[in-house]
Amino acid sequence: MITAKKVSKHYSKKIALDQINLNIPKGSIYGLLGPNGAGKTSFIRIMNQITAPDTGAVYFDNSPLQPSDIARIGYLPEERGLYKKMKVGEQVLYLAKLKGLTASQAKERARMWFERLDMVSFWDKKVEDLSKGMAQKVQFVTTVLHEPELLIFDEPFTGFDPINTNLIKKEIKRLNSEGATVVFSTHRMESVEEICDHIGLINNGKVMVEGALLDIRKHYKNGTYSIVTSEPFDYQGDALVYNDVSHTGFSYVLKLDEYPTKLVVDLAAKGILVGFEEILPTVSDIFIDIVENGPKA
Amino acid sequence: MNSPILLIIQREFLTRVRKKTFLLVTLIAPVLFAALMIVPGLLASMPEDHKSIVVLDQPSLLIPEEGTEQYALDYLNPGEFDLELAKDFLRNSEKDALLYIPSGEGWDPDFIRKNILLYGKEDISIELQRFVENLLEDRINKQKLLRQGVDPEVVEQAKTFVSIKSFTLGEDDASEETSATPLKMGLGYIAGMLIYFFIFFYSVQVMRGVIEEKTSRIVEVIISSVRPYQLMLGKILGIGLVGVVQFLIWIILCTTIYGVVSTFIFPDLLAQSAGAPGMGAPDMGDVAGLQIFDMIRSINFPLVLGGFAFYFFGGYFLYSALFAALGSAIDQEADSQQFMLPVTAPMIIAIVTAMNVIQEPNGPLAFWMSMFPLTSPISMMIRLPFGIPIWQVLLSGAILIATFFAVVGLAGKIYRVGILMYGKKVTWKELYKWLKY
């Protein structure tokens, strides 16, 4: 859907993006992850054609970005808001028309969304009279109303209350299943791990790692295994990271150089094996690993 | 209606026009304006303040002058009163003031002139003092003339008043124009003030609008749909349109109110007050009728009106682009002060020097002020009714247009960067850096 080739952007002396290459596959839910100031927002603004890259190019469906593409993108910026003195309905229609919808299309879709998210009563209210949660719903509707093929959310869950967060996660998943490509940008990596299928990790304007989340986690696995048994077993060695007893049994976390086939088979033969799992690193683990040790070949 | 700029213009226009304050200002301003025209007339027609003055006229200089309806003079018998007794008399009487004219030695007019005293129960008004002074000057003059053996009547008859008819020399006799300086001064000044007011009032609204979009954080949502310059231009045009509509309503309302008032309510009154500000032109009465018509004809109205429209919009666009850039650079209106002053200073200078420009519309100050693009909308407008060489008008217009495009380009750059900068105190140096982003 989006391909960035050697995209660079600098502001006076500060380099925001340094020759980054990214590929956001069609139909994916893509997590653009990295600490504050890594360059995520800079890249998002380039995708939205708010700024242009200094060098390099961004391709939308294999052709270079062009002004008409903004109608195909729905963008919820990190710094977001609405005209406080304007009525909700009017404002939603205005923003939709700016995205190229006709008045009647905008009206029809707005009605549909207002009913779906149970906000019909907002229509004639001024934004300043809405609660924060209500305004967040309106903001979400303005982002998706023109049925964009690409949805970009910058720090979507900061400032959203938990109820809205869940509601919106649900709606985003639905939109994704209907074909929309979704990009989440956040520094809170754990918050999107469960819904993203692809990620790109950015730090200091460079892409550290990018690809399908599962592949990356497998690639960065470090031989950590969890074993749960019904009876304690005697394990000697440095490999033990952690052990604990709970109502489910005796659990052990081991760090091993090899896959523990023999151990598992033995425990199973003894009839005490309750569970075995290879623990894949979380995205934040991977990020810390990369920042400390550099990308793994 | 789906072009983004049109949509933005529409929104900017409608949200402002539908506000209650718009309605209020639009309706109240003409009433105030009409009041401004009518009240001086009303005041002038108010009953005058009557004073009665008791005079101790030892040299019999004024006797038997009775004063006017406003200032009545009564005389004390110089044989019975001296100054102290006269003061006591004033204290115990209904009279308002005491005028003491000493005779001095040998009836010397110069001694008398220097020793006249005026006492009042309250402070003596300037008007009263002037009345007494004029009266006495006249009498003492006559006495002096008599002493020199000259008949004051002869002097009175010899007084001459010269009234010059001035023309602006044209190519041939037919195009000779009656000079209409007072009218031109008034026209230029009013037009200049209107432009000043319009630019100031509405450009600041552009800045407010930009700041509002920034503080409400909607701006990034908008510019992910339209280009920043479209948003800026749409805002400038939309607010300009509000201004034009407001001005048109004002013109219509003012003319209506003035028309109604002058025909039905105070027909005499307005005739008075319209005649009163005679622009210092002496003795307009004689020439008024025919010449005013000539004067009006002597002004190149197509040029003045065209110039008004041009500088009205040219000035507004130039300044509103500057104000838009300013607004984008700051987070809160309170921070705008340090940047406002340098931008508004030229306009204020143009207004402060307006009188100098009017008095010498072809002088060097007037020339340079009307070339410099930040002052030309006001200064050139003030000059226009006086008939300016056409090359100057064209040059000034060209400079204004060129500057407008340059400024819009630069303002657009600052704006583009500024609207996405939050929570940063901006310096001039920073603004300069943004130009190169």
Higher local confidence (pLDDT), B294 or B282: B294
Question: Mean pLDDT, chain B, as a whole number?
Answer: 81
pLDDT in tens, B43-79: 766 666 788 888 888 888 777 777 787 888 888 888 8
List phi, psi (to 5°) of A47: -60, -35
pLDDT of A292 higher than 70: yes
Q: pLDDT value at position A106?
A: 93
Q: Is residue B30 part of a domain?
A: no
The pLDDT tens digits of the residues spanning B128-184 come to: 888 888 888 888 888 888 888 888 888 888 888 887 776 666 666 655 555 667 778
Across the interface, do B221 and A95 touch by the CB < 8 Å criterion? yes
Each residue's pLDDT tens digit, A35-53: 888 889 999 999 988 888 9
pLDDT of A243 higher than 70: yes
In total, the C-beta contacts within 8 angstroms joining chain A to chain B are 66
Q: Please state whether beta strands A55-60 and A2-11 pair in parallel, antiparallel, or not at all (unpaired).
A: antiparallel
Could you tell me if residue B219 is inside a domain?
A: yes
- The answer to whether A83 contacts B225, with C-beta atoms less than 8 Å apart, is no
**B38 inside domain:** no
| Residue A210, min C-alpha distance to chain B (Å) | 26
**Residue B252, in any domain of the structure:** yes
Query: Is B192 found in the same domain as B119?
Result: no
Domain span holding position B380: 176-274+294-434
Same domain, yes or no: B228 and B118? no
Q: Are B253 and B104 contained in the same domain?
A: no
Rounded to a whole number, what is the distance in Å from the CA of B7 to chain A's nearest CA? 7
Say what the pLDDT of residue A89 is: 93
Whether residue A27 is predicted with pLDDT greater than 90 in this model: the reply is: yes
Within a domain: residue B2? no
Residue B11 has pLDDT above 90, yes or no: yes
Residue B284 has a pLDDT of 46
Percent of chain A whose pLDDT exceeds 90: 42
Look up residue B161 and give its two tokens.
Answer: 């008043």
Chain A residue closest in CA terms to B213: A83
Claim to verify: residue B77 and residue B143 sit in the same structural domain: yes
Q: For residue B10, what is the nearest residue in chain A, using CA coordinates?
A: A94
3-state secondary structure of B342: helix
For residues B351 and B406, membership in a common domain is answered with: yes
3-state secondary structure of A77: coil
Give the gap in angstroms from C-alpha A170 to the nearest C-alpha of chain B.
22
B251 and B338: one domain? yes
Q: Look at A50 and B436 and tell me if their CB atoms are within 8 Å.
A: no
| CA end-to-end distance (rounded Å), chain A | 26
CB contact under 8 A, B225 and A94: no
Nearest-by-Cβ selection for A11 from B213, B422, B437: B437
Q: Please tell me the total count of domains within chain B.
A: 2
Q: Is residue B9 part of a domain?
A: no
Q: Please identify among residues 6-65 of chain B the ones whose CB lies closer than 8 Å to any CB of chain A.
A: 7-8, 11, 15
Query: What is the chain B residue with the closest CA to A49?
Result: B224
Spatial CB neighbours of B33, under 8 Å, sequence gap ≥ 6: B250, B254
Contact (CB<8Å) B420/A45: yes
CB–CB contact B422 A79 (8 Å): yes
Strand pairing of A206-212 and A198-203?
antiparallel
Contact between A146 and A103 (Cβ < 8 Å) = no
Cβ contact A82–B216 (<8 Å): yes
Q: Do A142 and B220 touch (CB under 8 A)?
A: no
B382 in any annotated domain? yes
Domain assignment of residue B186, yes or no:
yes
Q: Any CB–CB contact under 8 A between B166 and chain A?
A: no
Q: Is A185 on the interface with B (CB under 8 A)?
A: no
Are B303 and B420 in a shared domain? yes
What's the whole-number mean pLDDT along residues B262-291?
Answer: 52
**Least confident among A193-202, A232-241, B323-332:** A232-241
DSSP B145: H
B280 or B45: which carries more pLDDT confidence? B45
Residue with tokens 């790109």: A200
Question: Which two structure tokens, joined as six digits, stand for A129?
Answer: 């009279």
pTM over 0.90: no
Residue A263: band (very low, low, confident or very high) from pLDDT cuts 50, 70, 90: confident
- What pLDDT score does B280 carry? 42
Residue with tokens 């209020």: B24
Quick one: which of B219, B242, B197 has its CA closest to B344?
B197
For residue B225, the chain A residue with the least C-alpha distance is A99
Position B240 confidence tier, pLDDT thresholds 50, 70, 90: very high
Residue B417 distance to chain A (closest CA, Å): 9
Six-digit token pair at B319? 């300044």
Nearest to A94 among B7, B212, B227 (CB): B7
Cβ <8 Å between A50 and B7:
no
φ/ψ (deg, to 5) at A103 = -60, -40
Per-residue pLDDT reduced to its tens digit, B370-424: 999 999 999 998 888 887 888 999 999 999 999 988 988 888 888 888 888 776 6
Spatial separation of the C-alpha atoms in residues A99 and A88, rounded to whole Å: 17
Cα four-point dihedral sign A122, A81, B18, B226: negative
Backbone angles phi, psi at B226, to 5 degrees: -130, 160
Q: Shortest CA distance to A97 belongs to which of B238, B229, B225?
A: B225
Rounded to an integer, what distance in angstroms lies between the CA atom of residue A171 and that of residue A144?
A: 10
Residue B239's pLDDT band (boundaries 50, 70, 90)? very high
CATH number, domain of B92, equals: 3.40.190.10
- For residue B273, is pLDDT > 50? no
Instruction: Please give, rounded to a whole number of angstroms, the shortest distance from the CA of A100 to a CA of chain B.
Output: 7
By the CB < 8 Å criterion, does B437 face chain A? yes
A142 touches chain B (CB under 8 A): yes
CATH entry 3.40.50.300 includes domain A2-218: yes
